[in-house]
Structure 1
Amino acid sequence: MRSSIILFIFALILLSCSQQKQDVIIQKYFEAFNQSDFKQIKKYVDNDFVMSEGDFKICSSVNDLQTVFKWDSVFQPKYKVLKIVQTDDKVEIEVSKIDTRVAYLHDEPMISNVSFEFKKGKISKQIIKDYKYFDVKKWNGRLKDLRDWINLNKPDLAGFDRDITLNGAKNYQKAIDLYASRDLGLEENIFIDKDLQLVHLKDSVFVHISWSDSEQYGKFPSNGLIIAQDGKAIMVDTPMDNDKTEDLYQYLKDKMNIEVTLLIPGHFHNDCMGGITFLHSKGVNSIANLMTIQKSIELGLEAPKESFEKQRGIDFYGEPIECNYWGGGHSFDNITVWLPDRKILFGGCLIKNESSNSLGNLADAVVEEWDDTVEKIKSSYTDVDYIIPGHGMYGDSKLLDHTIALVQDFKLKH
């Protein structure tokens, strides 16, 4: 009886040691992938090693695995074992993976549940069972956009995503690099949906146009600005509500790989900051005139986070941006946003488009200052390529003269 107990305890010890050894082998196996060291990988796998994803067999030998390894190494993978659970005949793990391909198509690491089987102390099978975290919609959407762009602009790289060889991986990475650095100016007008549009203005600057319904004005457009640099963007004014702002934000992120990091609202009305709550929920910072913030708090609205009074300069990844308060006009708090390197001035609702024959909404207007305010802008910016009004078609410095004339005509009649 005593010898049976000893043998049983000894067997448990051997099983525990075997399990610990398998855990170590799995860790070292992934470390070898992280270090691009196939010689180490060969130490841990059986000659008849099989890797599969569900019912799809990826490889069925060490030689096949080496082909997969070479393809995978191009993207500089980083694997991390998050959890290991030992069963009677298998080791179940949870592993995360990030690499240049995953980062581009998915933003964050993908996490999978993987089963390992062993034979004579080596890994004989690796089965990817399912994914704990994998945004298939985002992945497929970005991959489709990448494929479509490559097929149109770089047809010699077509099929890059179906070639599981070293050369295929190099083409895949080249496709990503080319698409990420593409000239956004080739896409002049982008219709996101019936109520949202992006119009390429200059370099990586876009006007975003959103349409809304009003009992007084019917269906009307509102303008804002997107200034993109190094995969990040400043949004000047939001669409009028959170839903349209979310659609714009997600399009920029999912389709153009641009993440909005800062909002600059031109004044406190909802055609400037109607989507601020959504942007704040995404961690986007916001900068506004102090009076805009004070009025927002007074009205119980979500307020911008940072303030300035007269002028605020921003260095956005080497792109200088100037926010200025010149005086009252469409509202008491309206500002302009100036891009000196691009000679682009966002005037917002302070400036009227050339087809406007009235001053529009005067509920919060400071008409007595309005023309003087625009005169200050006109004398400060004598060399402007584009001026973007809050509503309607953008233009050049003629918009300033037109706005001054409208204000002065209004004063004469009232």
Structure 2
Amino acid sequence: MKNTLSILFLLLLSASCNQNKPTRQEVITKYYQAFEEGDYQKIKALINDTLTLTSGDYVTPYTHESFYEFFKWDSIFKTSYAIVQLDEADHEVIVKVTSESVRYRFLKNNPLTCQFTISFDSGKISKIESGECPGTDWDIWQKERDSLVSWIQQKHPRLDGFIYDMTMVGAINYVKAIELYEAKP
């Protein structure tokens, strides 16, 4: 009888612990909600010590500190996120996200809807791989970006390089470049 009670107690304890552990889909939902709320501390709790973002040939590894810089960069564009679809496959989750921002609006692809494959390590997000962005017109994106960069180089060279500066200052300069470009006579 004593053994039966001990086993029952361990099973209940185990079930209780498993109920408190969020699913991968819940982690992803909380991740995008934290971005939406501008709460980096919540994001930090959901990502692994190292997080890798991939987009095409670009692979960028982040620590918590360097990802915070990316977070600050993104926040300057007032980006909003909405999960459109979440599907779990093997050890990954495929998520389709629609986002809107000052930058996407300028690049004439607002909102931007993209698919991401998200991988986990020990229950935390460890890799986010960009996939297709159906409906995105990359030719217009590139044309608008190149026009802005060229005009800034000629008219406001002190802002030149904003396109490659993935810091908060770079994003501030990017927004300033957009404002100057849109206000041009």
TM-score greater than 0.5 by the shorter chain: yes
TM-score normalized by the length of structure 1: 0.39
2: CA distance between counterparts of 1:37 and 1:80? 16
* Structure 2 partner of 1:152: 154
Deviations 1:314-351 (A, max 9, x none): xxxxxxxxxxxxxxxxxxxxxxxxxxxxxxxxxxxxxx
* Structure 1 partner of 2:119: 117
SS of corresponding position for 2:128: strand
* Structure 1 partner of 2:8: none
Deviation at 1:149, TM superposition (A): 1.2
Residue type of the alignment partner of 1:66: Y
Where has structure 1 moved over 6 Å in runs of 4 or more?
A: 17-20
Q: Structure 2 matches for 1:229-268, cutoff 5 A? A: none
Residue type of the alignment partner of 1:117: S
Larger radius of gyration: 1
Q: Are 1:80 and 2:76 matched, yes or no? A: no
SS of corresponding position for 2:77: coil
Return 5+ residue gaps in structure 1 as ranges: 1-12, 184-414
Deviations 1:269-316 (A, max 9, x none): xxxxxxxxxxxxxxxxxxxxxxxxxxxxxxxxxxxxxxxxxxxxxxxx
Say which structure, 1 or 2, has more relative contact order (CA 8 Å, 6+ apart).
Answer: 2
Q: Are the equivalent residues in 1 in contact too, given 2:79–2:99 (CA < 8 A)? A: yes
Deviations 1:248-288 (A, max 9, x none): xxxxxxxxxxxxxxxxxxxxxxxxxxxxxxxxxxxxxxxxx
Return 5+ residue gaps in structure 2 as ranges: 1-14
Q: Are the equivalent residues in 1 in contact too, given 2:38–2:75 (CA < 8 A)? A: yes
Deviation at 1:106, TM superposition (A): 1.8
1: CA distance between counterparts of 2:106 and 2:168? 19
Q: Are 1:58 and 2:60 matched, yes or no? A: yes
Residue type of the alignment partner of 2:81: Y
- Residues 119 and 18 from structure 1, CA distance in 2 versus in 1: closer, same or farther, beyond 3 angstroms? farther
SS of corresponding position for 1:97: strand
Q: Structure 2 matches for 1:213-292, cutoff 5 A? A: none
Sequence identity of aligned pairs in percent? 29
2: CA distance between counterparts of 1:90 and 1:138? 32
1: CA distance between counterparts of 2:43 and 2:183? 35
Deviation at 1:55, TM superposition (A): 3.2
Q: Structure 2 matches for 1:3-402, cutoff 5 A? A: 21-183=23-185
Residue type of the alignment partner of 1:125: K
* Structure 2 partner of 1:389: none
Q: Are the equivalent residues in 1 in contact too, given 2:109–2:137 (CA < 8 A)? A: no
SS of corresponding position for 1:42: helix
2: CA distance between counterparts of 1:85 and 1:18? 21
Structure whose residues are more often helix by fraction: 2
Deviation at 1:60, TM superposition (A): 2.9
Across the aligned residues of Structure 1 and Structure 2, the Cα RMSD in angstroms comes to 2.0
2: CA distance between counterparts of 1:109 and 1:73? 16
Residue type of the alignment partner of 1:174: K
Q: Are the equivalent residues in 1 in contact too, given 2:82–2:99 (CA < 8 A)? A: yes
Deviation at 1:153, TM superposition (A): 0.7
SS of corresponding position for 1:130: coil
SS of corresponding position for 1:111: strand
Q: Are the equivalent residues in 2 in contact too, given 1:113–1:130 (CA < 8 A)? A: yes
1: CA distance between counterparts of 2:89 and 2:96? 14
Residue type of the alignment partner of 1:97: S
Q: Are the equivalent residues in 1 in contact too, given 2:118–2:129 (CA < 8 A)? A: yes
Residue type of the alignment partner of 1:175: A
1: CA distance between counterparts of 2:65 and 2:97? 24
2: CA distance between counterparts of 1:162 and 1:119? 30
2: CA distance between counterparts of 1:126 and 1:18? 24
Q: Are the equivalent residues in 1 in contact too, given 2:107–2:140 (CA < 8 A)? A: yes
Q: Are the equivalent residues in 2 in contact too, given 1:34–1:76 (CA < 8 A)? A: no
Deviation at 1:159, TM superposition (A): 1.2
Structure whose residues are more often strand by fraction: 1
Deviation at 1:20, TM superposition (A): 6.7
2: CA distance between counterparts of 1:91 and 1:19? 17
Residue type of the alignment partner of 2:97: V
Residue type of the alignment partner of 1:43: A
Deviation at 1:164, TM superposition (A): 0.6
1: CA distance between counterparts of 2:68 and 2:150? 30
